[in-house]
Structures are given as C-alpha cells and as structure tokens.
Amino acid sequence: MKKLLVVLALIVMTSMLSVSVFADTTVVDPQQAVDTNITADTNTDTAVAASETKDDIVKKEDVKAFKGKFSALLADLNVLRTECKANWDQIKTLNQSIKTQWTAVKTVLKGKKKDEAKKIAEEIKAKLEPDRTQVKAIHTDIKTLRDQKKAEWVNFRAAVKARDEGKATTAINNIISLKKQIIDKQKVLLPLKNDILTILKGYTA
C-alpha cells in the first residue's frame, strides 16, 4: 500500500511539474513579433543616421591643419557625407512605407478568422526573416566601421596637434575609406528594405 502511495505521489508531482513547465513557456504571437522587428529595425536606422551625420562634421581647424594641406581630402569626405545622408533619407522613406504597408496588412488580418490570421502572420514572419537576418548583420557591420572611423578621427586630430603630417594623412585617408565602406553597406541595405516592402504588399493585393 505504501509503495502504491509513493508511486501515485511521484505521478502527481511529475504531472504538476509538466504543467508548470508548460505554463512558463510563452508563445510569441507572430503578428506581435513582426511589429517588434519592424520597429526595432526602424529605430536602429534612425539612430545610426543621426549619429553618422554628426560623426564626420569637418571643423574649421581640420581644414586649416598644415595650412590647408587636407582641404581637398576633407572636401572629398563632405561629398561622401552628402551621399551617405541621401542614402539614410531613402532608407527612412522605405521604413515609413514598410510601417504603413504593415498597418494595411494588419487590417486585412483583422478580417480573417483567428487561426487563419495567425497562420498568415507566421508565414509573413518566416518570409521576412532572411532579409531581417541580413539587415541585422549590416547594422553590426556599420557599427564596427563607425567605431573604427571614430578612432581614426581621434588619431587625425592627435596627429594634427602633434604636427605629424604623415600620421594625419594616413588617418584622414582611413576615414574616407571607412566612409565608403559604410556607403557600400547602405547600398546592400536599400534593396533588402525594398524586398521587405514587396513581401508585405503581397498580402494586401
């Protein structure tokens, strides 16, 4: 009898544990997940665009360094700054279009039965994931390039202060190279944003 009671107690405890584990498992709603992802990507782009514009502001003392020795290179950098900003503006416009389109998709989903709406949202999330994986990788790459560029600005101004023209020249050339690499990353980001927009449009056609 005692053995039977022990066995029953173990069964009850195991069942309770299973229920507890199941209760703690949170299932992320696919529609909410897409909402979160779109917002996160937009916020990242917005923050980087604002910071990147400030990162490469050319100061008067930079231009005057070594009697204007770097004027031509800094002018080239300003051209790149303009191109970079234009790319961020395009990305901002696409992000707004993506948000607008996703709102339209959610309106369509509201007209569906719950199970069907969930299935469609899961399908959308799955289709967007490859693009989002690449977007996140690009964000990481751009952060790395920006960190390197900031360090080169420190090197440049330290070299100017130390009157070391060679090191200053190396630093400003590195800054220009890094800026070009960031622009190259933007050029990969733009079609990914367009692809995301196209996928979403497919659910309101």
Give the pLDDT of residue 53. 80
- How far apart CA 77 and CA 180 sit, in angstroms, is 9
Give the pLDDT of residue 6. 47
Give the pLDDT of residue 110. 94
Q: Taking Cα atoms as reference points, which of 166, 183, 167 lies closest to residue 82? A: 183
Q: Taking Cα atoms as reference points, which of 80, 79, 190 lies closest to residue 131? A: 190
Q: What are phi and psi of 28, to 5 degrees?
A: -75, 125
Q: What are phi and psi of 134, to 5 degrees?
A: -70, -40
pLDDT tens figures, 196-205:
999 999 999 7
pLDDT tens figures, 55-99:
888 888 888 888 899 999 999 999 999 999 999 999 999 999 999
Residue 158, amino acid: A
What is the helix (H) or strand (E) element at residue 66, kind and residue range?
helix 60-68
pTM: 0.83
The ranges of the chain with pLDDT < 50 are 6-8, 12, 14-25
Tell me the H-state helices in 2-113.
Answer: 2-24, 30-55, 60-68, 71-110
